[in-house]
Amino acid sequence: MCDGSHMAHNKECGDNVGPLIVSVDTKKKEEEEVVEEEKAVVVVSSSDSVATIEKTTSSPFSKLKSIFKKDNKEGPTTKEKLAKMGLSALLSYGWVSNMSYAITLSLSWYTHSKKTGLSPLAPGQWKPFLAVYAGFYVFTNIIRPLRFGLSVVVSQYFDRFVGFIERKSGWGRKASIGVVVFLANVCGTFAAMGLGVGVASTLAGVPIFPPKVV
C-alpha cells in the first residue's frame, strides 16, 4: 500500500510521479538453483549406473550366465559360444566331460556291485551293468548346463597350464597344447576312471576281477 511519502515531492515538482520499488524473491531463485543442481546429480548418477551395468555385462559372470541360456534358431550353439571364449574353454569342457563320465562309471560300478555282489566283469554281468550305467548317463545329460558352466571356470587353469608348459619347455603354443591335452584329457581321464573303479570296488566289498572258477 502507498504510504503517501511521495506527496511532498509532487507539490514541489508539480507532477504526479510516485516511486516504483522492484523486489526480487532471492529465496525462490536459490530454490530453483538447488533443484537444477539435484537434477545434474541425478543425471551423473544415472550415467554412472549405466556405465556400471555395461561393465558388469562384460564380466565373467555374465559370460557364465549366457552359457545357461537356451540356444535359439538364429543364435550360436553352446559349443560355438565356448569356441568364442577361446581354446582353453573347449579343452576344459572336454576334461570336465571326461571327469563326469569317470564319476558316472564309478557310481555305476559301485551300484551294480553292491546290488548283485558281483563285479561287472563277472560272466553275464556286463549287460546289467550297462543298464545301470545308462541311468546315470541320462542324469549327466540333464546336468549338462552345469558342465558347461564348470568348464568356463576351469578354463583359466588350462590356460595357465599351457603357458607353464610353454615357458618351461620352450616349445610353441601348439606343442604345449598337445602336451596338456595328453596329460589332462588322456592320462587324467584313465587315472580318474581307474581310481574311481578301485574306490567303488573297495566300498562295495567286491573285487574288480572275479576269481577264476577251477
Across the range 18-31, mean pLDDT stands at: 58
Q: What is the DSSP letter of 13?
A: H
Residue 72, pLDDT > 50, answer no
Q: What is the DSSP letter of 202?
A: H
Could you report how far apart the first and last alpha carbons of the chain are, in Å?
130
Q: What is the pLDDT of residue 15?
A: 72
DSSP states of 133-191: HHHHHHHHHHTHHHHHHHHHHHHHHHHHHHHHHHHHH---HHHHHHHHIIIIIIIHHHH
* Contact indicator for 200, 102 with CB cutoff of 8 Å: no
Residue 45 grid coordinates: 548418477
DSSP states of 62-122: HHHHHHTSPP-SSSPPHHHHHHHT-HHHHHHHHHHHHHHHHHHHHHHHHHHHHHHSS-TTS
**Cα–Cα distance, 107 to 199 (Å, whole number):** 10
Residue matched to cell numbers 603357458: 163
Across the range 79-96, mean pLDDT stands at: 75
Q: Convert the pLDDT of each residue in 151-190 to its tens digit.
A: 888 888 998 999 999 999 999 988 999 999 999 999 999 9
Q: What is the pLDDT of residue 3?
A: 63
Across the range 127-156, mean pLDDT stands at: 89
Lowest mean pLDDT among 14-18, 64-68, 104-108, 194-198: 64-68
Q: What pTM did the predictor assign?
A: 0.60
Question: C-alpha 2: how far from its chain's center?
Answer: 78
**Cα–Cα distance, 111 to 114 (Å, whole number):** 5
